[in-house]
Structures are given as C-alpha cells and as structure tokens.
Chains A and B, each alone.
Chain A
Amino acid sequence: MSEQNNHSTVENTTTGLNHRKLLMWAFLGSDCMFFASLIATYLVYRGKSVTGPEPIDLFSIPVTSVSTFVLLMSSMSMVLAYAALTKGNLKVFRVWMLSTAIMGMTFLGFQVFEFRDFTVNHVKIGCEENNAKYTELENKFSSQQKSDYKKQCSEGKKEADIEFGMTPRTNLFGTTFFVLTGFHGAHVTLGVIWLLSLFFYSFKRGAVSADRHLDVDLAALYWHFVDIVWIVIFTVVYLFGVYEGF
C-alpha cells in the first residue's frame, strides 16, 4: 500500500474495507446480542404467567403472516433500490426506496393495530353450567375476571362479555411480548426514518449517487437485519407461541 492520502483516510484503509461498513457489521453482531437477551427473557418466561391471556388467546396467525410477508417484501424492495442506485438509475432507486419505506410503515401499522387489538380483547362466554369455554379459560382468569363472569351471569344474561385484554402490565407474557416486539418495532421505526431521510435527500442534486452508494448500503444492511430479527420472532414468538406442544 502506498503512503496514505493526506486529505482523506476513508478510502485508503489497511484492509481496503470501508470504515463505516466495518462498523455497521460490528454493530449488527452486537445487536444480535441485544435481541438474544430479549428473546431469552421471553423464552425462559414462556408459560410462567400467573394469569392469562396466553399467546393462543390473542394471536391471529393469518394477520401476522401478512405483516411478516410485507416486511420480507420490503427487504426485496430495499435491495432492488440499492441495485438501481449502483447502476446510477436514480429514478428507479427512488421508487423502490419509497416503496420500502411504505412497506415498513405498513408493517408498523399492523403492529399498532395488533397491539391495540390485544389490549382491548374480549371473550364472550355462555352462561350455562359447565360451559366448555369457561372451563378452558378459568385457570387463566384473574379473580376479577372470574367474579365478573359470575356477576354478569347472575344478572340473567345468556352470554357474559369478559374483558380479556393484555397490556405490558397484565402478566409475564404481556411484559415480555410487548417489550420484545416493541423494541423490534422501534428498530423498524428508526429504519423508516433513515430510509425516508435518504429518499428525500436524493432529490438534492448529487447528494445520493452511484459513487456514494455506501450511504444506502448501510441503511440497507440495517433494514435487512431488522427483517431477519422478525423472521426469528415470527417463528419463535408467534408460531411456537400458539403451538401448544412446545
């Protein structure tokens, strides 16, 4: 290697790799540990909640499958944006970039919808003796919910409407679930801000260009990482969560 350039040390490094890209990969390795700690917490507390609801009472696999699919496709869109940029095609880059951000926001929309849905969840249970659903849910109910059921039924209703929602405070499942998926959501939010910043920045002449593709490359790496974390969460939290045998 020749003598280092006095004006800039960025391009001329010992390994020939870019400083920022190296940092990004080190960061992603580190972020693995972050999510691992959250996932480990979720897993060791799995099934240890004192009261319900449990995953099976709340999760809707079809809905989450759709949002999972959207996030997967946003990864494709991201990589296509990057490919367009390296070819110098700024217009195509902008289209894919915007669609990535929109898909990211769609995913977040699903998450907000889901979180809200969980907090206001209700169950309707018939009031007849030895109702099958009540027998199933009885040991997940708090004493408040049990007395609520009895009260509503003693009022002569045919069917009791019990609040069976979950917030981070409700039980261990709520705590671990919301904090894990919430921090993933925070990562997605940061990613969307990053992508949109680059999108708007690209309208400034020369600000985003093929020879400055690294700016987009780094955002893309981050975005794909957020996607793979979700791949793990979808399987471990959602699919294994509803599957009783685990």
Chain B
Amino acid sequence: MINEETANHPTPKTYVSTALILSVLTAIEVGIFYITSLGYWMIPILAILSIGKFALVVMVYMHLKYETKLFTIFFLSGLFLATAVVFALMFLFKSF
C-alpha cells in the first residue's frame, strides 16, 4: 500500500535541489526588481519567474507530477477559474 503510493516519489536529493532552484529564482526576482532600466518588461519577467516557482512547488513538493491526474484536474480547475475571475474583474474595472 505504502510503497505503491510513494514509490515513484522523488528522493530527498531532488527536494533539496528543487529548493536550490527556488532560492535562485527568488534571488533573480529580487535582483531584477532593482534593474529599473527594464521598464515594462519587468512585469512579464517577474510573472514568469513566480509562475515557475509556483509550478515547481506544486509539481515536486506537492507531488502533483507523480500522482494521479485526478488531483491535477481538481487543483487546476480551481486555479484556472481563480485566474480567470481575477483577470475578468481587472478587465471590468479597467485596471490594466
């Protein structure tokens, strides 16, 4: 039972290297933040970086990559709807 469920989970090594990547991404985020010459480019760059962090935690630490698709469907349906609602409201309030 236990082995079936956790057998394909990654090893602690993967977890630590994921943490390293997360730290580096955060450092890049904060670093980029101080490069004012980037102008409007800063927004997509920071957005992509944080989406990357988000995805790493969800896929590796929350094991979504290694477990049944059903969990992914549950989570992503909430996530997509949530994102859509945020953007729809921003559009309706002309916040862009």
Please list the residues of chain A having a beta carbon within 8 angstroms of any beta carbon in chain B: 11, 15, 17, 21-22, 25-26, 28-33, 35-37, 39-40, 43-44, 46, 61-62, 65, 68-69, 72-73, 75-76, 78-80, 83-84, 86, 210-211, 213, 220-221, 224-225, 227-228, 231-232, 234-235, 239-240, 242-243, 245-246
Please list the residues of chain B having a beta carbon within 8 angstroms of any beta carbon in chain A: 1-2, 6, 9, 11-12, 15-16, 18-19, 22-23, 26, 29-30, 33, 39-40, 42-43, 46-47, 49-50, 53-54, 57-58, 60-62, 68, 70-71, 74-79, 81-83, 85-86, 89-90, 93, 95
Given A29-B74, A32-B78, A228 and B30 contact (CB-CB distance below 8 Å): no
Q: Which residues of B contact A235 (CB under 8 A)?
A: 29, 46-47, 49-50
Query: Is the CB–CB distance between B71 and A76 below 8 Å?
Result: no
Tell me, in angstroms, the Cα distance from A57 to B60 when the chains sit together: 37
- Chain A residue with Cβ nearest B30: A65
Given A40-B90, A227-B57, A25 and B75 contact (CB-CB distance below 8 Å): yes
Given A36-B86, A86-B2, A239 and B29 contact (CB-CB distance below 8 Å): yes
Tell me, in angstroms, the Cα distance from A242 to B62 when the chains sit together: 31
Tell me, in angstroms, the Cα distance from A80 to B47 when the chains sit together: 28
Query: Is the CB–CB distance between B43 and A61 below 8 Å?
Result: no
Query: Is the CB–CB distance between A224 and B57 below 8 Å?
Result: yes
Give the Cβ gap from A88 to chain B, nearest Cβ, in Å. 10
Give the Cβ gap from A148 to chain B, nearest Cβ, in Å. 32
Give the Cβ gap from A13 to chain B, nearest Cβ, in Å. 12
Query: Is the CB–CB distance between A32 and B79 below 8 Å?
Result: yes
Tell me, in angstroms, the Cα distance from A237 to B5 when the chains sit together: 37
- Chain B residue with Cβ nearest A244: B36
Given A40-B90, A43-B95, A245-B39, A72 and B23 contact (CB-CB distance below 8 Å): yes
Give the Cβ gap from A28 to chain B, nearest Cβ, in Å. 6
Given A33-B78, A239-B46, A76 and B2 contact (CB-CB distance below 8 Å): no
